[in-house]
Structure 1
């Protein structure tokens, strides 16, 4: 005959299982492997479909870092090498077809943003010759275009507040080192890139668990862009940042790639959590 304690344990276990079944927990648990498989398939789809189109970008980026042309001797060749990865991102978007660009205004805006970014890159090659403000203007236009591409829905004021705090602290760090027109120009630029970061972060919808891969890509790209530009500002106006050029260009190229990737709309990239 079995001990009473064992029978009591089994009774409690059956009661727990019955409660779980009544609450539908088993059905949700059964869906977990399906969700994980869907997420993995989504990642593999991105790599399979978009990876080959990004090969020229990765090669051009490697060329830039391998050549590592000195910034003290600006030339049209060094401008070409610096802009080449961004040119490849133009091709990446154009490779999806004119019909794709015609049907997606966000993709057109991101392509335009990449074009203005290329102009900004070229101007910054000659920043010591007085073209820094020109580059700043080109990138400011890029951020406006990216913000428009990301859209204003959902609003997500919590994301806006978070980015606002980061932007405010960044300007507070730089303020005492700024003088003349840069006091205002840098403030406007930080506001624009901060706004772009807000729209990218809001689009992910992490709070509502409605994120997609393209929106997550836009968010990561925007955050890296902010890191890159803050490094530029600190290095130029405040104090030398160790390995600043490597940090700036690595985060910049990664940011532009992720933002370009976010323009690729695919019907099969629905939220894996919605499959239930």
Structure 2
């Protein structure tokens, strides 16, 4: 809540509040022993890259935005790796039949939302950023699909929930950046983003 208020008033507290808030989800994963597993290690890498993305986006202009976009894109790639390497019996890579209904639903939902969001957002993006933003949309969609694929014999609902919340938060970011700038975007997007990251951080610790 403090971060949301700081974002609204654009005061001096905005930068330290964002840095502290983003540091917290990295700390949650580390304290919970995420580094003890390959899955957890990749989640920590994704969280750390997200931290760098958050810090980059504190700057204004196209350059910091492009840098932040790059960090978040690589964060999603790290999450994809994390979801794929989960231990046997815990994901669709090892047991596809047990997760196929959820995976099919996830695929359909991501395709529908992705197409609608793309047609809504991309025409309003500055020309130099169209392809980077399009690539980012593809990668985050793949991340959600990979999260859906973790549903198996012994699955963790926090993974898919966290991925979906992250995805939804980015729609709010895109609306703020390209469609209709305003505090209401951050009012919705920030809680979704941090809730999603914290869920992934907790799941990383087992």
Q: What TM-score do the two structures reach when normalised by structure 1?
A: 0.63
> What is the CA–CA distance in structure 2 between the aligned matches of 1:129 and 1:175, rounded to whole Å?
16
Cα deviation for residue 211 of structure 1 reads: 5.5
Equivalent in 85, 90, 94 of residue 21 of structure 2: 85
Decide whether aligned partners of structure 1 residues 204 and 78 sit closer, same or farther in structure 2, where only a CA change above 3 A counts: same
Aligned CA-pair RMSD: 2.3
C-alpha distance after superposition, 1:67-124 (max 9, x if no partner): 44643x6x6x633320212212222222234xx623x111111111111111111111
Alignment of 1:1-276 (within 5 A): 62-65=1-4, 67-68=6-7, 70-71=9-10, 78-97=14-33, 101-102=35-36, 104-128=37-61, 130-151=63-84, 153-154=91-92, 156=100, 158=104, 159-205=106-152, 210=153, 212=155, 215-240=156-181, 243-265=184-206
Q: Which runs of 4+ in 1 moved over 4 A?
A: 66-69
> What is the CA–CA distance in structure 1 between the aligned matches of 2:7 and 2:127, rounded to whole Å?
33
Decide whether aligned partners of structure 1 residues 235 and 63 sit closer, same or farther in structure 2, where only a CA change above 3 A counts: closer
Cα deviation for residue 180 of structure 1 reads: 1.2
Cα deviation for residue 66 of structure 1 reads: 5.2
Report if aligned partners of 1:231, 1:241 keep a CA contact under 8 Å in 2.
no
Decide whether aligned partners of structure 1 residues 181 and 67 sit closer, same or farther in structure 2, where only a CA change above 3 A counts: closer
Structure (1 or 2) with the larger CA radius of gyration: 1
> What is the CA–CA distance in structure 1 between the aligned matches of 2:42 and 2:8, rounded to whole Å?
31
Cα deviation for residue 146 of structure 1 reads: 0.8
Cα deviation for residue 255 of structure 1 reads: 0.8
> What is the CA–CA distance in structure 1 between the aligned matches of 2:7 and 2:72, rounded to whole Å?
23
Cα deviation for residue 65 of structure 1 reads: 3.7
C-alpha distance after superposition, 1:243-272 (max 9, x if no partner): 11111111111110111112122xxxxxxx
In structure 1, the gaps of 5 or more residues are 1-61, 266-276
Which structure has more RCO (C-alpha within 8 Å, separation ≥ 6)? Answer: 2
